[in-house]
Amino acid sequence: MTHLLRRLAALVALLVLAGPAGAMDMAESKLGDLTVQKPWARASIGTDRPSAAFMVITNGGGTDDRLTAVTTEIAGKAELHKTSMDNGVMKMREVEGGIIVPAGATVELKPKDLHIMLMGLKAPLVEGEMVTLTLTFEKAGTLTLKAMIMKAGATSHSH
C-alpha cells in the first residue's frame, strides 16, 4: 500500500514539476502585435569568448517596429549584429538603429545573418540550460523570454 502511495506521490511530483517546466520552454512569446518564436543561443566556449542568440520575430500588426536593445544578466553587453559577405570577406557589424521588423513581416535572426551578440559573459552558456533575454522594441515595449542553449556549433533551434 505504501509502495503504491509512494509511486503516486512521485507521479504527482513529476507532473507538478513538468507543468511549469513545459510552460517555460517558451517556444513562442507575444508582445502586442509581435510574436517571437524559437529563441535559442549557442553554448559559450569559456567565458572570454562572445556567444550569439537567435530567434524569429513576426510583426502581425500594421505598424513597423524595431528591436533596439537586448539585455541579459549573463552578459555584460548584448548587441545586435549582422554577418555579411563582402567580396568573399566575412564581416560582422553592429546594426545601427536596431533591427527593423516591418508590419506584416517576419525577420529571422539566424547563423550567417542577423544575431544578438552576447559579450562580456559573466557565466558560461551551458548547453541544455536556458538563458533569459529581455528584448526592447521601439513601439511594443519590452519582452522577457528564455532562450534554449544549444551546442556551440548548432545552426538551428532544433537538434
Sequence-ordered list of residues with C-beta below 8 angstroms from that of 156, at least 6 positions apart, any chain: 40, 110, 111, 150
Q: How many chain residues bind other proteins (CB under 8 A)?
A: 30
* Among the listed residues 64, 111, 129, 134, the single contact to other proteins using CB under 8 A: 111
The strand pairing partners of 40, in sequence order, are: 54, 148
Report residue 127 CA to chain centroid gap: 13
Nearest distance, CB of residue 32 and other proteins, angstroms: 29
CB closer to other proteins, 32 vs 111 = 111
Q: Which stretch binds other proteins (CB under 8 A): 6-14, 21-29, 84-92, 129-137?
A: 84-92
Contact between 125 and other proteins by CB under 8 A: the answer reads no
Q: Which stretch binds other proteins (CB under 8 A): 8-16, 42-50, 58-66, 68-76?
A: 42-50
CB closer to other proteins, 105 vs 152 = 152
Q: Which residues contribute to the site for other proteins (CB under 8 A)?
A: 42-43, 45-46, 48-52, 81, 83, 85, 88-94, 111-112, 115, 117-119, 151-155
